[in-house]
Amino acid sequence: MPLIGAGAVILDGQVCRPGWLQIAGAQILSCGAGAPPGQPDRVLPDCLVVPGFIDMHVHGGGGASYLDAEHVAQAAQFHQRHGTTTTLASLVSTSPDKLIAAVRALAEATRSGVVAGIHLEGPWLSTARCGAHDPAQLRDPESAEIDDVLAAGAGTIRMVTLAPERSGSSEAIRRFVDAGVVVAVGHTDATYERTRQAIALGATVGTHLFNAMPPLHHRAPGPALALLEHPDVIVELIPDGVHVHPAAVHAVVRAAGPDRVAVITDAIAAAGCDDGAYQLGAVRIDVESGVARVHATSTIAGSTATMDRLFRTVSRLGPDADAALVAAAQMTSATPARALGLERVGALQVGFDADLVALDRQLRVTAVMARGVWR
């Protein structure tokens, strides 16, 4: 039963200096503040240990895409090296046959533990707010396709993003909620009122808030305000300095609280790679200075971020350094776990999976443990 001692550990909503954890198999057996209750097997004297990051919206990384069945593990392992111990693999909009094939491949990857489940970002999205999705592949949700997708996923689809203004969306929300799938509102041109209706039907997540939706207007507040003001909705944010202005990130966290903000990367295959030409499904992507855009346009196309980088960004919010670190851990782990209904991940506590990240004084990853194994 390995015993780990660290300079600091985030436990029970506070930074404990020092702190320790004891691991039994894949789980945390015990943990606490102060010196370890014995000779530690590993000492991390200058490190902060935080819960493993949970990325609930990511399309790929390390040159690999989750739409490519042969390279699912490559993408997951790339992000794991950056502290993401739980990955929800996101699929972009594609044709019905390719969608089913991708869902089946990711269902197998879920069963083998490579990823924690599937996120369908489309194809039931707004053409007007398609972003980097191929508009030719966007369509209304129909019961037959939904049944086929759920059957192919066999319980591994955890979240679906859809535009609630599309015909058939109300029935789709009910169907997915009944199947135990989290419904997110995103890539939408919906009004404030229509978004509230979707929330009343069971939608509980806002996909990358502010992006691929109308801007907040005082006479037409749109989906952003409807999502922000509802206490049962968790909103995704991409705090990479490209998707959302830092002041807006700060304002959202201050208004909604860290327990309602889930930091995501929305990373594509280009994460961790050089600038150049890439693909996101059928859409050509150009990456320049680390910013991904649809070829020959100004449209942002996902990100090249990793969760450790975003943790560093949000850990600087607020004047109290320790409180900011606790909030950052909440937004990169506990809140996404709660959004997805994932149990035994998202915190360092007894009985939870031994998923943790050791960060040095500059909050850079020095070690990652997933399910009790150093990676």
3-state secondary structure of 223: helix
Burial class (CB in 10 A: 0-12, 13-18, 19+), 231: exposed
- For the question of residue 266 being annotated catalytic, the response is yes
Sign of the dihedral through C-alpha 166, 167, 170, 175: negative
> Is the sign of the CA dihedral 254, 258, 260, 261 positive or negative?
positive
Rounded-to-integer distance, Cα 17 and Cα 62, Å? 34
Contact 157/178 with Cβ under 8 angstroms?
no
Instruction: Please give the Cα distance from 66 to 44 (Å, whole number).
Output: 34
Pick the catalytic residue: 55, 134, 189, 266?
A: 266
Question: Amino acid letter at 100?
Answer: I
Ranges of H-type helices in 206-334: 222-229, 246-256, 307-314, 321-329
Using CA of residue 357, residue 361, residue 362, residue 366, what is the dihedral sign?
A: negative
Active-site residue set: 266
